[in-house]
Structure 1
Amino acid sequence: MKHILVLLIVVFSVKLSAQTEQNHIPISKSIVGIWRLIDERKLTNGESIRILTGDYKVINADGTYYTFATLPNETIIVQYGSYEIESDSTLVEHIIENVLHPRLSGKDSPIKYNLIDENTMSVAWSYNLEGKIWLNEKWIRLPLAVPRSASGINLVQPGTQKH
């Protein structure tokens, strides 16, 4: 009996450890992650350009999220709440507070999403909550990466840091 109890504890610990590793944002392949809003625009010559915004969303494995914006003089949290995944393409955000659109605070917002690939997600959400007006957005996952200068040179040389 004692061995069975020890075995159950070990199995439970290994399973919990494996789940914890899967929940780490830098290795996530699901919607869990830190995402940056991008704006893709077509130029008059037909070319597309990709504009990186200062808007970010953190989707945590524990069912919580927050959105923040980096502005010239400050970085602020603009929305936070929890979410529930309803299917492989829909979720509901339970908005606790949204300072940019206060009428959304305390409301549930249906979200349509699609992981285009493991680092790109398209999102559609209804601005008026009645589903009459849908806004489409594209988000890219922030990578675990060595920072680079504007000219593309690594600011930190990998392997030179002491832990």
Structure 2
Amino acid sequence: MKHILALLILVFSATLSAQTEQKHIPVSKSIVGIWRRIDERKLVNGESIKIVTGDYKVINADGTYYTFATLPYETIIVQYGSYEIESDSTLVEHIIQNVLHPRLSGKDSPIKYSLIDENTMTVAWSYNLEGKIWLNEKWIRLPLAVPTSVSGVKFIQPGTQKH
């Protein structure tokens, strides 16, 4: 429960800090938003499955970002910095600090990105910064939505109550 509370505080504070023409992250159609990484894996039978991770990225309208991870017993900020969009498919992250890959701290990381639709983004980044090894990731935008359940407890959706 502490992790969910920490996540909600983090998301709420990120939403408050977004200042653009659209004013709020939840209505953004650009890369500005709160994103969750998903992995797509192929099964032996060729079927594809999606695995939702605990990795999140908040891209603020003011040119800052941070990445955080929800783990079984804690939620941590993994990386933060600023970014500059260079074209409609490339940006550069100016990494201030990365705790998982400390050698990336203080470096610039070129990122290739593509918005598949307004809620799905693919990202490719070079682990070694020389562009020899590229990692491909898929991210989905967090929706503004009423939760349907938490830990098996179902919520009643607004407007669906019978009197």
Distance 1:158 1:79 in 2: 37
1:87 aligns with 2:87: yes
Aligned residue in 2 for 1:100: 100
Counterpart mapping for 1:6-21 below 5 A: 20-21=20-21
Q: 4+ residue stretches of structure 1 with deviation over 4 A? A: 150-154
* TM-score under structure 2 length normalisation: 0.82
8 Å CA contact 2:20–2:62 kept in 1: the answer is: no
SS at match of 1:22: coil
- Offset, 1:155: 1.8
Structure 1 pair 152/120, CA: closer, same or farther in 2 (3 Å)?
Answer: farther
Give the root-mean-square deviation of aligned CA atoms: 2.0
Q: Does 1:72 align with 2:75?
A: no
Q: Give SS of 2:26's match.
A: helix
In the alignment, structure 1 segments of 5+ residues that lack a partner are 1-18
Q: Could you tell me which amino acid in structure 2 is paired with residue 71 of structure 1?
A: L
C-alpha displacement at 1:158, in angstroms?
2.3
Q: Percent sequence identity over matched residues?
A: 89
Quote the residue 2:10 is aligned against.
none
- Map Cα deviations across residues 36-85 of structure 1 (whole Å, 9 max, x no partner): 00000011111100000000000000000000000000100000000000
Is the radius of gyration larger for structure 1 or structure 2?
A: 1
Q: Does 1:113 align with 2:113?
A: yes
Aligned to 1:131: 131
State how far apart, in whole Å, the 2-side matches of 1:99 and 1:71 are. Answer: 15
Compute the displacement of 1:23 (Å): 3.5
Residue 114 of structure 1 aligns to which amino acid in structure 2?
A: S
Aligned-partner Cα distance in 2 for 1:150–1:46: 32
Query: Which runs of no fewer than 5 residues in structure 2 stay unpaired?
Result: 1-18
Distance verdict in 2 for CA 1:86–1:152, change over 3 Å: farther
